[in-house]
Amino acid sequence: MHLILFFIFAALCLAGAVNLLLQTHPINSALSLIVVMTSLAVLYLLLGAEFLAAAQVIVYAGAVMVLFTFVIMLLNAGREERTLGSRAARVVGFPAVAAFLALLATVLLKAHGLGRAAMQEGVTSTDDLSAVLFTKLLLPFEVTSVLILIAILGAVALTRHGDGERSASK
């Protein structure tokens, strides 16, 4: 049962990722990225990470993708023109990507027992997760909240700054 679900959602995930690359319109890419993230959430659930599955759906498929679609709509992003990159990107880039894929694959496949890891039960409950998060790792957690605050302020400052520059140059 787990194996079937894994293969279905892994295939869905890969199809979404390939579709993301093949689509020319950004909104289609964004929608296929949502497919990728949702199927990744199911994979997390299969791996016993129930909290992370929920967080994946809420944070990524919800918040981040809403942000993406909002920006795409806001900027009225049209169809991109097909310029197949520079020669250097094609000559050097694709062999480099292939070599990197081979390297990662060997490292991941050499890690012993990964194949049966997905099969066994063993749910990491939210209790366990929060017990470690709020005792041992409290300081990083708080630092992250400050980081998010800075990011919000930075985003607001960046967009406002761009506006001010344009009106100053006129």
Partner 1 sequence: MLSAILFSLGVIGFLIKRNLITVFMSIELMLNAVNLSFVTFAHQWHAVKGQIFVFFVMMVAAAEAAVGLAIIIAVFRARATLAVDRIDLMKL
Binding to partner 1 in span 127-146, by CB under 8 A: 128-129, 132-133, 137, 140, 144
Q: Does 148 bind partner 1 (CB under 8 A)?
A: yes
What are the backbone dihedrals phi and psi of residue 49, each rounded to the nearest 5 degrees, phi first? -105, 80
CB of 140 to partner 1, least distance (A): 7
β-pair partners for 49? 124
Binding to partner 1 in span 92-111, by CB under 8 A: 93-94, 97, 100-101, 104-105, 108-109, 111
The only residue of 2, 91, 95, 154 in contact with partner 1, by rule CB under 8 A = 154
The only residue of 4, 155, 168, 170 in contact with partner 1, by rule CB under 8 A = 155
Question: Are the beta carbons of 153 and 81 closer than 8 angstroms?
Answer: no
CB of 116 to partner 1, least distance (A): 9
CB of 124 to partner 1, least distance (A): 6
Binding to partner 1 in span 15-74, by CB under 8 A: 17-18, 20-21, 26, 29-30, 33, 36-37, 40, 43-44, 47-49, 51-52, 55-56, 59-60, 63-64, 67-68, 71-72, 74
Pick the closer one to partner 1 by CB: 3 or 94.
94
